[in-house]
Amino acid sequence: MSASSPDSRPPSIGRRTLLGAAAVATPAVLGVATPAAAAPSPAAAASARKKPRALPGGGDLGPNVIVFDPSTPGIQARLDQVFRQQESAQFGTGRYALLFKPGTYNGLNAQLGFYTSIAGLGLSPDDTTINGDVTVDAGWFNGNATQNFWRSAENLALVPVNGTNRWAVAQAAPFRRMHVRGGLNLSPDGYGWASGGYIADSRIDGQVGPYSQQQWYTRDSAIGSWLNGVWNMVFSGVEGAPAQSFPNPPYTTLGTTPISREKPFLYLQGNDYRVFLPEKRTNARGVTWGNGTPRGTSLPLSQFYVARPGVSAATLNQALAEGLHLLLTPGIYHLDRPIQVNRAGTVVLGLGYATLIPDGGATAVQVADVDGVRLAGFLVDAGPVNSATLLEIGPRGASRDHSANPTTVQDVFVRIGGAGAGKATTSMVINSRHTIVDHTWVWRADHGEGVGWETNRADYGVVVNGDDVLATGLFVEHFNKYDVQWNGQRGRTIFFQNEKAYDAPNQAAIQNGSIKGYAAYKVGDGVTTHEGWGLGSYCYYNVNPSIVQHHGFAAPVRSGVRFHNLLVVSLGGQGQYECVINDTGSPTSGTSTVPSTVVSYP
């Protein structure tokens, strides 16, 4: 798709393209030296052999965390080197974090490829200014940005060379805590297809131009203006956001975000690394950093076990049991058992898309029913042996009140297949009350290696059993049954993006009792209170275009279960929807890729 000029009319949108592009040693542990004069008895020696030595906090961030300061020579060359390696490595093993110490950098263009994160190391974005650009484009994929996944920008101020920074991304590519002193263009060069995206806690002084972006969610930010919308543009707590106007233009605008707590981030205090933990906000609006030091607390790196690829799950769990938090440096971690987060207030923070792969059918991460856990910035990749679950927030039956200090799951992404065969019955299960899921992409792969209706079988994407859960920026795609199944009371979702599984072989394969297909978003029959804003589901049954999906959304018909601004889209007529929600909403038809919408339900 192309457009001759970047005017306010969105280019026509085609279907998402299917074709894809195609060890560090465990850190040494520290022990306590035994005085030479005090030789241990045989029993004491045996006991000492059984008890693990205490693990160290802090330490080096490893070879794939590249730190620059304004005097570093050859910054552009190093950025270019990483980009060349990562530009088209969609399912590669490289992982990088590019960190910039506070100061001013001139004449840079940091192009970001796959599994690359760029971030400033100040307390405020304005502490680290790049007179230049942080660019995502789609030259590697012939101008198609729908596969520009898994990359991020955070905590920087940009002064774009031509006045506008280009950030043409798809899913799992957050733009957080950024200050763009100019405009932001969310489309690729040539205005090709694009399917994103997420902005939070950012200030864009000029205009944001989504152009060809099919959908976008912006939270707790400030913008100069917003140019256009294609299918689903959602704003909550955004100063300068366009007025509510769904479906034409397709803007869903909430004045505030009910509850938010920004993602933890690494920063420098003098020469020492710390991790800042922003405080919770209610009815939030605008950025957290606009009036000096942000509100929250911080932890020294010495309170983190700095993990390197190759470390075992047993060692990670030992660190947690000893009271340390986890900092996962870039790379791939194989787990033979779950990482067990049992202590209130624990932080598990990944850098550079650190990737957890559970082996032998294990769950990757399990969180106890405790206050204030923060999971952020990592990818969970299903292993070849089916896992019952990949990520569990709270055990089954969790019921404690966490309203004062909720658990947050932020920029935690899940993938089943693509990099190789993977299976998981349910990807993410949320049992703990008051959990906030703030930007996730839970994806059963539709391209890459190990892809097929049964090859990367994954029935459920996100299952919410806990009450009072809030999702802000929920992207869940291609599951064999329900993409989202929400059983908890008083749940809320602001922005949902979904595609049904492309590869269903026939109508019978998706038949749900008497209903044609499983809804993308299903609210449990026993739920009495639930609310959603700005939710979209798309179908593209390319294996069998005759498949009919009855609806995108299913919910009990009760006054307390309410939806605002829903849409379903048939991409190029490859399959069709009969309704939008339950038995309400016009069917899609033909090949025009025009959404069918419901503004309010019931």
Lowest mean pLDDT among 10-14, 271-275, 414-418: 10-14
How would you class 69 by CB atoms within 10 Å of its CB: exposed for 0-12, middle for 13-18, buried for 19 or more?
middle
In the predicted model, is pLDDT for residue 7 greater than 50? no
Given a contact cutoff of 8 angstroms between Cβ atoms, the answer to whether 52 and 58 are in contact is no
Q: Check pLDDT > 70 for residue 45.
A: no
pLDDT at 13 over 60: no
In the block, which residue shows the tokens 């909403």? 585
| Residue-averaged pLDDT of the chain | 92
As a residue count, the chain comes to: 602
Contact yes or no for 154/127 (Cβ under 8 A)? no
Answer for the pair 419, 394: CB distance below 8 angstroms, yes or no.
Answer: no
Decide: 544 and 506 in contact? Cβ < 8 Å: yes
Higher pLDDT, 41 or 588: 588
CA distance 469 to 488: 8
Rounded Cα distance, 498 and 552, in Å: 9
Q: Examine the pLDDT at 33 and tell me if it is beyond 50.
A: no
Instruction: Answer whether residue 2 shows pLDDT above 70.
Output: no
- C-alpha–C-alpha distance, residues 427 and 562, integer Å: 26
Contact status, residue 225 vs residue 208, Cβ threshold 8 Å: yes
Q: Read off the pLDDT of residues 411-458 as tens digits, 9 standing for 90 and up.
A: 999 999 999 999 999 999 999 999 999 999 999 999 999 999 999 999
Distance of CA 399 to the CA centre of its chain: 26
Q: What is the pLDDT of residue 53?
A: 79
Whether 24 has a pLDDT exceeding 50, the answer reads no
Judged by average pLDDT, the poorest of 34-43, 231-240, 557-566 is: 34-43
The 10 Å Cβ neighbour count of residue 245 is 14
Res 195 pLDDT > 90 = yes
Residue type, 460: Y
71 SS3 class? coil
Catalytic residue among 87, 262, 392, 499: 499
Region of residue 182 (left: phi > 0; alpha: psi -120 to 50; beta: else): left
Distances (CA, A) of 177 to 54, 173, 206, 221, 544: 36, 13, 16, 9, 43
Query: What is the pLDDT at residue 41?
Result: 55
Q: What is the pLDDT of residues 211-231, one digit of tens each?
A: 999 999 999 999 999 999 999
Could you tell me which residues come within 8 angstroms of residue 22 by beta carbon, excluding any fewer than 6 positions away? 88, 90, 91
pLDDT at position 293, please? 76
Q: What is the pTM of this model?
A: 0.92
Which is it for strands 296-300 and 272-278: parallel, antiparallel or unpaired?
antiparallel
Cα distance between residue 58 and residue 406, in whole Å: 26
| Model confidence pLDDT, tens digit, residues 320-377 | 999 999 999 999 999 999 999 999 999 999 999 999 999 999 999 999 999 999 999 9
Sheet of 339-341, strand order = 339-341, 365-367, 387-393, 424-430, 460-464, 484-486, 521-523, 553-554
The predicted model gives 126-155 an average pLDDT of 98
Q: What element of type H or E holds 570?
A: strand 561-570
User: What value does the mean pLDDT take over residues 69-73?
Assistant: 98
Structure tokens at 276: 């800042």
What CA–CA distance (Å, rounded) separates 442 from 380? 9
Instruction: Supply 547's token pair.
Output: 């498949």
Please tell me which residue, 20 or 482, carries the higher pLDDT value. Answer: 482
d(CA 257, CA 237): 5
The vertex-216 CA angle with 536 and 601, nearest 5°, equals: 35
Q: What is the spatial distance between Cα 267 and Cα 276, in angstroms, rounded to a whole number?
A: 7
**Cα separation, 109 vs 107, whole angstroms:** 7
pLDDT grade for 42, boundaries at 50, 70 and 90: low
Q: Name the DSSP letter for residue 42.
A: H
The residues, ordered by sequence, that sit 6+ positions from 264 with a Cβ below 8 Å of its Cβ are 275, 276, 277, 278, 347, 349, 374, 376
- Whole-angstrom CA distances from 201 to 156, 257, 261, 272, 457 are 12, 12, 10, 25, 36
Determine how β-strand 408-416 pairs with β-strand 436-444. Answer: parallel
Residue 155 has pLDDT above 50, yes or no: yes
Query: CA–CA distance from 274 to each of 262, 364, 393 (Å)?
Result: 16, 26, 26
Q: Which tokens belong to 334?
A: 């194989």
Q: Report which secondary-structure segment, H or E, holds 414.
A: strand 408-416
Cα separation, 237 vs 241, in Å, equals 9
Q: Catalytic site residue 499?
A: yes
Distance in angstroms (rounded) separating the CA atoms of residues 88 and 93 = 12
